[in-house]
Homo-oligomer: A and B are copies of this chain.
Protein backbone atom coordinates (compact mmCIF):
# COMPACT_ATOMS: atom_id res chain seq x y z
CA UNK A 1 0.00 0.00 0.00
CA UNK A 2 1.69 3.21 -1.12
CA UNK A 3 -0.38 5.32 1.32
CA UNK A 4 1.71 5.75 4.44
CA UNK A 5 0.10 4.91 7.79
CA UNK A 6 1.42 8.00 9.58
CA UNK A 7 0.55 6.65 13.04
CA UNK A 8 2.65 3.55 12.36
CA UNK A 9 5.79 5.40 11.27
CA UNK A 10 8.30 5.25 14.14
CA UNK A 11 9.36 8.47 15.85
CA UNK A 12 13.09 9.04 16.21
CA UNK A 13 13.52 11.41 19.12
CA UNK A 14 16.83 13.26 19.54
CA UNK A 15 19.92 13.05 17.37
CA UNK A 16 22.90 10.78 16.80
CA UNK A 17 25.34 13.61 17.52
CA UNK A 18 28.10 12.90 20.02
CA UNK A 19 28.28 14.84 23.28
CA UNK A 20 28.37 17.79 23.78
CA UNK A 21 26.20 18.44 20.69
CA UNK A 22 23.44 15.97 21.44
CA UNK A 23 21.56 17.82 24.19
CA UNK A 24 20.29 20.66 22.01
CA UNK A 25 18.37 18.19 19.79
CA UNK A 26 16.63 16.14 22.49
CA UNK A 27 13.27 17.68 21.55
CA UNK A 28 13.51 17.07 17.82
CA UNK A 29 11.31 14.22 16.51
CA UNK A 30 11.70 12.74 13.03
CA UNK A 31 9.34 10.36 11.27
CA UNK A 32 11.04 8.75 8.25
CA UNK A 33 8.16 8.76 5.76
CA UNK A 34 10.24 7.81 2.75
CA UNK A 35 11.65 4.76 4.51
CA UNK A 36 8.12 3.79 5.55
CA UNK A 37 7.17 3.61 1.87
CA UNK A 38 10.28 1.60 0.98
CA UNK A 39 12.01 4.46 -0.84
CA UNK A 40 15.80 4.32 -1.01
CA UNK A 41 16.94 7.01 -3.46
CA UNK A 42 16.01 9.91 -1.18
CA UNK A 43 14.86 10.26 2.41
CA UNK A 44 11.76 12.22 3.46
CA UNK A 45 11.30 13.07 7.12
CA UNK A 46 8.36 14.71 8.84
CA UNK A 47 10.29 16.58 11.53
CA UNK A 48 8.78 18.30 14.57
CA UNK A 49 10.85 20.71 16.62
CA UNK A 50 9.93 22.03 20.04
CA UNK A 51 10.83 25.65 20.86
CA UNK A 52 14.59 25.96 21.34
CA UNK A 53 15.66 23.11 19.08
CA UNK A 54 16.35 22.93 15.36
CA UNK A 55 16.92 20.77 12.32
CA UNK A 56 20.65 20.19 12.81
CA UNK A 57 23.96 21.80 13.63
CA UNK A 58 24.88 24.19 10.84
CA UNK A 59 26.33 22.03 8.05
CA UNK A 60 26.58 21.40 4.32
CA UNK A 61 26.83 18.22 2.24
CA UNK A 62 29.31 17.42 -0.51
CA UNK A 63 27.10 14.97 -2.41
CA UNK A 64 23.47 15.17 -1.29
CA UNK A 65 20.89 17.78 -2.34
CA UNK A 66 18.57 18.87 0.48
CA UNK A 67 15.12 20.49 0.51
CA UNK A 68 12.82 21.69 3.31
CA UNK A 69 9.18 22.81 3.30
CA UNK A 70 7.67 24.41 6.40
CA UNK A 71 4.28 22.92 7.30
CA UNK A 72 3.66 24.64 10.64
CA UNK A 73 5.26 27.30 12.79
CA UNK A 74 8.26 29.51 12.22
CA UNK A 75 11.97 28.76 11.92
CA UNK A 76 15.09 30.84 11.45
CA UNK A 77 17.36 29.72 8.61
CA UNK A 78 20.99 30.43 9.52
CA UNK A 79 23.71 30.43 6.87
CA UNK A 80 26.94 32.30 6.11
CA UNK A 81 25.12 35.46 4.98
CA UNK A 82 22.95 35.69 8.08
CA UNK A 83 19.42 34.81 9.11
CA UNK A 84 16.13 34.46 7.24
CA UNK A 85 12.73 33.64 8.75
CA UNK A 86 10.79 30.74 7.21
CA UNK A 87 7.09 30.36 7.95
CA UNK A 88 4.44 27.80 6.97
CA UNK A 89 4.38 27.58 3.18
CA UNK A 90 8.01 28.65 2.80
CA UNK A 91 10.64 26.36 1.32
CA UNK A 92 14.40 26.26 0.86
CA UNK A 93 16.84 24.09 -1.05
CA UNK A 94 20.51 23.37 -0.52
CA UNK A 95 22.48 22.18 -3.52
CA UNK A 96 25.09 19.51 -2.84
CA UNK A 97 28.64 20.82 -2.79
CA UNK A 98 27.81 24.45 -2.00
CA UNK A 99 30.05 25.18 1.03
CA UNK A 100 27.53 27.32 2.92
CA UNK A 101 26.56 25.80 6.24
CA UNK A 102 22.83 25.93 7.03
CA UNK A 103 20.37 24.96 9.73
CA UNK A 104 16.87 25.91 10.85
CA UNK A 105 16.29 26.89 14.48
CA UNK A 106 12.94 27.21 16.25
CA UNK A 107 13.19 30.41 18.29
CA UNK A 108 9.42 30.74 18.56
CA UNK A 109 7.22 29.67 21.48
CA UNK A 110 5.44 26.86 19.62
CA UNK A 111 6.28 23.69 17.74
CA UNK A 112 7.50 23.92 14.16
CA UNK A 113 6.93 21.13 11.63
CA UNK A 114 8.75 20.60 8.33
CA UNK A 115 9.09 18.09 5.55
CA UNK A 116 12.76 17.55 4.76
CA UNK A 117 14.07 15.71 1.72
CA UNK A 118 17.63 14.60 1.08
CA UNK A 119 19.32 12.42 -1.51
CA UNK A 120 20.80 9.15 -0.28
CA UNK A 121 24.30 9.17 -1.75
CA UNK A 122 26.42 6.03 -1.11
CA UNK A 123 29.35 8.11 0.14
CA UNK A 124 29.20 11.51 1.76
CA UNK A 125 31.02 14.11 3.83
CA UNK A 126 29.00 16.52 5.94
CA UNK A 127 30.86 19.64 7.03
CA UNK A 128 30.11 21.61 10.21
CA UNK A 129 31.78 25.03 9.99
CA UNK A 130 31.04 26.09 13.59
CA UNK A 131 32.16 23.00 15.55
CA UNK A 132 34.78 20.23 15.60
CA UNK A 133 32.62 17.68 13.84
CA UNK A 134 32.44 15.91 10.51
CA UNK A 135 29.83 13.38 9.28
CA UNK A 136 31.16 10.60 7.07
CA UNK A 137 29.41 7.84 5.17
CA UNK A 138 31.21 5.18 3.11
CA UNK A 139 28.55 2.79 1.94
CA UNK A 140 26.85 2.43 5.35
CA UNK A 141 25.25 4.94 7.70
CA UNK A 142 26.65 8.26 8.90
CA UNK A 143 29.40 8.32 11.50
CA UNK A 144 30.54 11.43 13.35
CA UNK A 145 34.24 12.13 13.74
CA UNK A 146 36.50 15.00 14.78
CA UNK A 147 37.85 17.16 11.96
CA UNK A 148 41.22 15.53 12.63
CA UNK A 149 39.69 12.20 11.63
CA UNK A 150 39.74 10.85 15.20
CA UNK A 151 36.55 9.14 16.36
CA UNK A 152 34.47 10.54 19.20
CA UNK A 153 35.09 8.54 22.36
Chain A positions within 8 Å of B, measured between CB atoms, are 1-4, 6, 33-34, 36-42, 44, 46, 64-65, 67, 69, 71, 77, 79, 81, 84, 86, 89-96, 100, 102, 115, 117, 119
Output the least CB separation between A45 and chain B (Å). Answer: 11
Cβ–Cβ contact A2 & B39, under 8 A: no
Cβ–Cβ contact A90 & B42, under 8 A: no
Cβ–Cβ contact A34 & B67, under 8 A: yes
Q: Which residues of chain B are within 8 angstroms of A79 by Cβ–Cβ distance? A: 2
Cβ–Cβ contact B77 & A65, under 8 A: no
Q: Which residues of chain B are within 8 angstroms of A81 by Cβ–Cβ distance? A: 1
Cβ–Cβ contact B90 & A65, under 8 A: no
Cβ–Cβ contact A67 & B90, under 8 A: no
Q: Which residues of chain B are within 8 angstroms of A69 by Cβ–Cβ distance? A: 33, 44, 115
Closest B residue to A67 by CB, please name it: B44
Cβ–Cβ contact B41 & A64, under 8 A: yes
Cβ–Cβ contact B93 & A33, under 8 A: yes
Q: Which of B38, B90, B93, B117 contacts A95 (CB 8 A)?
A: B38
Per the bound structure, the CA–CA distance linking A100 and B64 in Å amounts to 28
Q: Which of B6, B37, B46, B93 contacts A34 (CB 8 A)?
A: B93
Per the bound structure, the CA–CA distance linking A34 and B117 in Å amounts to 10
A selection of 18 A-B contacts at a CB cut-off of 8 Å is A1-B84, A2-B77, A2-B92, A2-B93, A2-B100, A3-B84, A4-B92, A33-B69, A33-B91, A33-B93, A34-B65, A36-B93, A37-B92, A37-B93, A37-B94, A39-B93, A42-B67, A115-B115
